[in-house]
Amino acid sequence: MSFSSLLTARWKEADSLLCVGLDPDPHRLTHHYSPDADGIEYFCIDIIDATAQYACAFKPQIAYFAAARAEAQLERICEYIRSNYPTIPIILDAKRGDIGDTATMYAHEAFDRYGAHAVTVNPYMGGDTIEPYLVHPKGAAIVLCRTSNAGSGEFQSQLIDGKPLYQHVAQRAADEWSNKGEVALVVGATYPAELAEVRAIVGDMPLLVPGVGAQGGSPEDVVKNGANSHGTGLIVNSSRAILYADSVDPMPAAARVARETRDALRAAR
């Protein structure tokens, strides 16, 4: 199944817009887990089991695995999700961006090695560097548009022909890239007005929205500004607020925060 069909079915099945981000920092794990690659694996498996019923997607952030020499562990985590929760799509958050031949290698890594259904990519190098992800038979590209960090406006908000750069990216995604394969966009919850502008440009396209939880974005604002014509269209990510909800007994707390975040997103519809 394609990313979009899997996602659409999961939005309905779970009645949830919440994406659980897997950003396992070995120094923030409780004493149940060793602060290394193996501890990361067991922690992520436990988080997945604790939160799956509330999730429309899982999003492993590859930097945390790369820094801990945990690529084999990430492979097993993705395999665990596909085997045990086959209706939940996996988004590999890798923010790839490189020229054609190299991008083809990154697409192979994301979709064949890790078995992800979508990968985040950076548009700075242009549409020809996004195409290898779109044409891969198994994958989808989720393109950075307006990111959640404080400094994201430094280039993304600069005006080109009277419109900010991120709106040009959104327009290109809607008009061109979506003709070549499955595409979605990243827009931070920390910029709700921009989220509404992007939604107006891209129709019903899925939007991956980081920045609720630890980064402070409001679930209500996200849904009011970002939902599509079906009341879905959103993959609202929370990572740290769920993973590190309790420093003594993390899993019940992770489940509780995931359920509460899902419910806050539901209530805003």
Determine which one of 95, 138, 180, 224 is catalytic. Answer: 95
Nearer to its own copies, 35 or 266 (CB): 35
Across the beta sheet with 57-60, the strand order is 57-60, 18-22, 234-238, 207-209, 182-187, 140-146, 118-121, 91-96
Q: Residue with structure tokens 């996996």?
A: 90
Q: Is 209 within 8 Å of 189 (Cβ atoms)?
A: yes
CB distance 19 to 58 below 8 Å: yes
Q: Does 103 bind its own copies (CB under 8 A)?
A: yes
Q: Minimal distance in Å, beta carbon 108 to its own copies?
A: 5
Nearest distance from C-beta of residue 230 to its own copies, angstroms? 30
What does the per-residue mask of binding to its own copies show for 172-211, with x meaning CB under 8 A?
x---------------------------------------
- Where in 147-176 is the site for its own copies (CB under 8 A)? 147-156, 158-161, 165, 168-169, 172
- Angle 71-84/37-51 helices, nearest 10 degrees? 20
> In the range 106-145, which residues lie near its own copies by CB under 8 A?
106, 108-109, 113, 122-129, 144
Q: Do 251 and 46 form a contact (C-beta atoms < 8 A)?
A: yes
Instruction: Name the segment binding its own copies (CB under 8 A); options: 43-51, 58-66, 200-208, 222-230.
Output: 58-66
Is the CB of 97 or the CB of 250 nearer to its own copies? 97
**What backbone phi and psi angles, to 5 degrees, belong to 143?**
-95, 135
Considering only 13, 102, 216, 230, the residue that binds its own copies (CB under 8 A) is 102
Structure tokens at 193: 């007005």
Binding mask 6-45 for its own copies (x = CB under 8 A): -----------------x-x--------------------
Contact predicate 189/211, CB 8 Å: yes
SS3 114: coil
Q: Which pair of tokens denotes residue 44?
A: 């992520």
Reply yes or no on whether 163 is catalytic. Answer: no
How far is the C-alpha of 187 from the C-alpha of 196, rounded, in Å? 10
Q: Smaller CB distance to its own copies: residue 6 or 169?
A: 169
Binding mask 64-93 for its own copies (x = CB under 8 A): x-xx-x-x----------------------
Strand partners, 186: 144, 208
Looking at residue 63, the DSSP 8-state letter turns out to be: H
Catalytic positions are 95
Positions touching its own copies (CB under 8 A) are: 23, 25, 61, 63-64, 66-67, 69, 71, 95-103, 105-106, 108-109, 113, 122-129, 144, 147-156, 158-161, 165, 168-169, 172
